[in-house]
Structure 1
Amino acid sequence: MPGTANRSGLPAAGAICPKTRPNKAGRGPLEEERLYSLKEARALLPATVRRLEQIAELRGQMRAWGSAAEGMAPAEGDAPGLDELLASMNARLRELSDDGILVRDLRSGIIDFPGRDADGPLCWCFRLGEPDILYWHRPDEGFAGRKPVAEDC
């Protein structure tokens, strides 16, 4: 978004800061989804970025595996290398899901941390390669509706 970031790469002073409600303790299989404050989402970001980077690496390995196997006759049984790659990727995706993180686009590394403010549900939006969680949006607005988070948020 033009005009929304300052020299530090953070959103400009005109950005807004939705006031989130504290998360309810715990989350069981039948309870509501995990809701994050901006502070909670940012605390989880380093581990989340590592997982996204691992997923990107695994996707690259799968593409390379597919290119190498292209044109070859199908072998007996399943391809052992591909099985391990898929299992590793599924494990990383499951870890993100277990944390309540919503994967929106694997190719771009776009994820959302669900949250809530006085006006209803929101998503703290992050894209792999960004330095921090700098944007948020309402669930029905998606990535195109991202709004900058205020620096003092």
Structure 2
Amino acid sequence: MPGTANRSGLPAAGAICPKTRPNKAGRGPLEEERLYSLKEARALLPATVRRLEQIAKLRGQMRAWGSAAEGMAPAEGDAPGLDELLASMNARLRELSDDGILVRDLRSGIIDFPGRDADGPLCWCFRLGEPDILYWHRPDEGFAGRKPVAEDC
């Protein structure tokens, strides 16, 4: 969002700090949804960034494999190495899912950490390359509806 960040890359003054509730509310009867406070999401961010970077690397390897395999005849056998790449990618995605992290766009590295405040569900939004979790939005607003998190949040 133009004009919302200061020189440190953090959102400017006047940003919003939704007050999150403890990690209890919002669980449906069919699934246990993990809810994060901003502090909890930020604590998990370094491991999450490593996984997103691994996924990006695997995606690059898969693209390279696909380019190299274009000239292969179907009779030349299975895709050597592709199964391992797919298994590694699926493992990283499963780790994110097991942590309750919502992958929104693999290409851009956009993820959400579900949370809740007094007004209802929210998402702590992160995009690979950002220095921290700097934005949040309501689930129905998506990435386009991101609002800056207050610096003192």
TM-score range, shorter chain: over 0.9
Q: Distance in 2 between matches of 1:82 and 1:46?
A: 28
| Equivalent residues, number | 153
The answer to whether the aligner puts 1:24 opposite 2:24 as a matched pair is: yes
- After the TM superposition, which residues 1-153 of structure 1 pair with which residues of structure 2 at under 5 Å, given as runs? 1-24=1-24, 30-75=30-75, 77-153=77-153
- Residue by residue over 1:105-124, the C-alpha shift from the partner in whole angstroms, topping out at 9 and shown as x without a partner, is 00000000000000000000
> Which whole-Å deviations, capped at 9, do the CAs of 1:94-115 have from their partners, x for residues lacking one?
0000000000000000000000
> Which secondary structure state, in structure 1, belongs to the residue aligned with residue 74 of structure 2?
coil
Q: Check the 8 A contact 2:58/2:89 in 1, yes or no.
A: yes
The offset of 1:22, in angstroms, is: 0.9
Does structure 1 retain, via aligned residues, the 8 Å contact 2:122–2:138?
Answer: yes
C-alpha displacement at 1:61, in angstroms? 0.2
Question: Shift of the alpha carbon at 1:32?
Answer: 2.9
Distance 2:68 2:100 in 1: 36
TM-score by length of 1: 0.94
Q: Segments of 4+ in structure 1 off by > 2 A? A: 24-32, 75-78
Write the distance in 2 (CA, Å) between the matches of 1:5 and 1:79: 46
CA gap of 1:14–1:26, structure 2 versus 1, over 3 A, is closer
> Is 93-102 or 17-26 further displaced after alignment?
17-26
Unaligned runs of 5+ in 2: none
| Distance in 2 of aligned mates of 1:33 and 1:77 | 42
| Whole-angstrom CA distance in 2 between matches of 1:38 and 1:69 | 44
Q: Secondary structure at the match of 1:136?
A: strand
In 1, the alpha carbon distance for the partners of 2:108 and 2:143 equals 11
Q: Do the aligned partners of 2:26 and 2:116 also contact (CA within 8 Å) in 1?
A: no
CA-to-partner distance for each residue in 1:20-79, whole Å, 9 max, x for gaps? 001139999955300000000000000000000000000000000000011220145421
SS of 1:121's equivalent?
Answer: strand
Q: Cα distance 1:26–1:145, how it changes in 2: closer, same or farther (>3 A)?
A: closer
Q: Which moved more, 1:69-78 or 1:110-119?
A: 69-78
When the two chains are superposed, the root-mean-square deviation of aligned CA atoms in Å is 2.1
Distance 1:62 1:77, change over 3 A: same
Change (3 A) 1:29 1:140: closer
The CA distance in 2 between the partners of 1:17 and 1:77, in whole Å, is 55
Displacement of 1:3 in angstroms is: 1.3
Gaps of 5+ in 1: none
